[in-house]
Structure formats: C-alpha cells, structure tokens
Structure 1
Amino acid sequence: MLTNNRESKENNYYLAGFWMRFWAYLVDLIVIGSIDRLLVKSIFRLLGISLENTGMFSPIAITTALVFYGYFVLMTKFTGQTIGKMVFGLKVISLKEAKRTWGMILIRELIGRYISTTISILYVIIAFTSKKQGLHDLFADTTVVREENKKQLLQPAL
C-alpha cells in the first residue's frame, strides 16, 4: 500500500516518523497516568483496597495494566487514534486490509506493545524501517500516518 518512506502515491498519506510518534506516546502516557491517579487509585481507596504494588499480580498492578492496554486497544480499534495521536494528527492504518480488525488491533496493541514496552529500545526500530513501523506495527501489518486533508495535498498552495 505505501510505496516509499515519505508518501503513498495511492492515498497521499505521509508516514509518521519516530519523533512524532514519540511525542504522541508521551501524551498517551500522561492520559493513562491521569486515569490511574484520578480514577483507579480513588476507587481503590474508596473500596479500601491496598495501593501497594507487591508484584506483577497485585491488584493495583493488574488494574493499571488493564487500563494501559485497554486504552490502546479500545482507542485504536474504534477511532484509529489514541488521544496522543489525535493531538499530533496521526492515525493507525492497515497495510493489508481495508479496515482495522480486532485480531490486528489485539496483535498490535497487546502482543507487540507488551514486547516493545518490555524492551523499550525496540521503539527505535521506527526510525529505521522504510514504512516507519515499530515492532508492534510489523506484527500487525500496520503503520501510522499523518492525518491530513487529501485535497490539500493534491492542490497547490495558494
């Protein structure tokens, strides 16, 4: 679908590079951290559940992981964007299918993101692949593009 590392001749999509995606991800981490602090911790305190993170299977660790992965899965499935991507005008697209499927999103956002967040340096792959894909994109045959009005791209600037 995408023919080179800058623009698709078919769709006039501009690929989102490493730095744009990095800043969008930081915004997403702020949103997720806010949800955890405002909602999750408040509910835990209200219910008298310990906030102590005693390991991978503590209630707070499980809940924050569900919020983290749930945020990325649901936002990407239903809008093609997270809030961070919306702020920077980015969108996840499939390289093989017309629309995003549950299988594709689950592979991208659960399996791929788990590996990428476990070994953070793997995010740098985005800078070196021709379609600006991270490991999670490679697993799911997706990429992230800049969302711009196609008519603007086709018409000369006035």
Structure 2
Amino acid sequence: MSDNQLYESHPPEERIEEQIEILKKHETFVYAGFWMRLWAYVIDLIVIWSINGLVIYPIFRLFNLSLDNTSFFSAITITTTITFYAYFVLMTKFFQQTLGKIIFGLKVETIERNKLDWATVLFREVFGRYLSVTIWLLYIVIAFTKRKQGVHDLLADTTVVHERNAYLIQKQA
C-alpha cells in the first residue's frame, strides 16, 4: 500500500479523533512548560515595552508631563503599570492568550475547562502576576508542578496548555 493510499484510507476526521483519544488516555492537555512560558512572557514584555514607547511616552511628551519614574507613585510609573496589567487582563479574557502565547501556540485554560470569567482572569493576571513579578523565584514553581502551574495559576485554578491539543479536545466535546 502506498503512502497516498494509506493517507486516503484515514480521512482527516478519523486522524483527529485518533489524536483526541490519545490525549484523553493521557492527561487531556499537554501542559506548557517553564521555558515555553518564559519565552512567551519575554515577547509579552517586548510588546508592552513597545506600547509604552509608541503610545504612552509620546503622550507624556506631547503634554509636557514628567517622564521621571524614580518615584513609585509618579504618573509615568502608574500609567505604564496600568498598561502592563491591562494588556495581560484584556488579552487573557478575550483571547485566552497574549501575543507571546499566540506565537508559541499556548493558551490559558481553567483546570475544569470552564470559560474564563472576569474574576478568574483578574485574580490570575493582577493579584497572581503581582506576586510573581514581585518575587521572581515564584515563576520557577512552573518547572516542578504536575500541571506546569505557576503560583498565579495555582491561585486561580488555571494552567497554560498547548493550543492545538486544547482545540482538539474542545472540538470533540
């Protein structure tokens, strides 16, 4: 039997169902590990830095506002902090992923596979991320948990999975 005959004998729907069965036998999701998530986060930081550089800082210069960020409560510090958290909250709520996660094919899911609600997203992306950003070592927890969860994931009952596997499971349901 040639490769084409073998390929034609198993239509795409059957191959997808086979992949879904394999995933169900294991843990349903393929969790995103520390390094994948780190690189996605680095890309997100570059995106946020770009937003600040292309939008926030020019507005401050246009209105002749101080760009001195030596104070924790300076206008520029507060504004760029709002940009940081707003980016993660809005992208996670509306797309279940940030641009960094999109590039690497990752997606935020709840442990119970429910739709992400505002409370979960706000708790994960504001409170949980604040803890993780304040104490960088907390990100290392991702490398040692069964579901590759960071502290912010553990607090919000979420995890980050490879998007293709999540898509296959949802399509089957």
Counterpart residue number, 2:83: 67
CA distance in 2 between partners of 1:8 and 1:118 (Å): 37
Does residue 58 (structure 1) correspond to residue 74 (structure 2)? The answer is yes
Counterpart residue number, 1:46: 62
Counterpart residue number, 2:140: 124
Root-mean-square deviation (Å): 1.8
Which of the pair is proportionally richer in helix? Answer: 2
Counterpart residue number, 2:52: 36
Structure 1 residues 8 and 93, CA, compared in 2 at 3 Å: closer, same or farther? farther
Range 91-100 or range 56-65, more displaced: 91-100
Does residue 95 (structure 1) correspond to residue 111 (structure 2)? The answer is yes
Structure 1 residues 42 and 79, CA, compared in 2 at 3 Å: closer, same or farther? same
Shift of 1:115: 0.4
- Unaligned 5+ segments in structure 2 are 1-22
Shift of 1:12: 3.8
**Cα deviation code 1:38-83 (max 9, x no counterpart):** 1100000001101001311100000000000000000000000000
Structure 1 residues 77 and 145, CA, compared in 2 at 3 Å: closer, same or farther? same
Check whether the contact 1:123–1:135 (CA below 8 A) recurs between aligned residues: yes
CA distance in 1 between partners of 2:25 and 2:159 (Å): 16
Shift of 1:150: 2.2
Specify the SS of the correspondent of 2:108.
Answer: strand
Range 125-134 or range 96-105, more displaced: 96-105
Shift of 1:97: 5.3
Counterpart residue number, 2:168: 150
Specify the SS of the correspondent of 1:14.
Answer: coil
Q: Tell me which structure has the larger Cα radius of gyration.
A: 2
Check whether the contact 1:13–1:147 (CA below 8 A) recurs between aligned residues: no
Counterpart residue number, 1:77: 93
Counterpart residue number, 1:154: none
- Unaligned 5+ segments in structure 1 are 1-6, 152-158
Shift of 1:121: 1.0
Opposite residue 150 of structure 1, the aligned amino acid is L
Sequence identity percentage: 56
Counterpart residue number, 1:104: 120
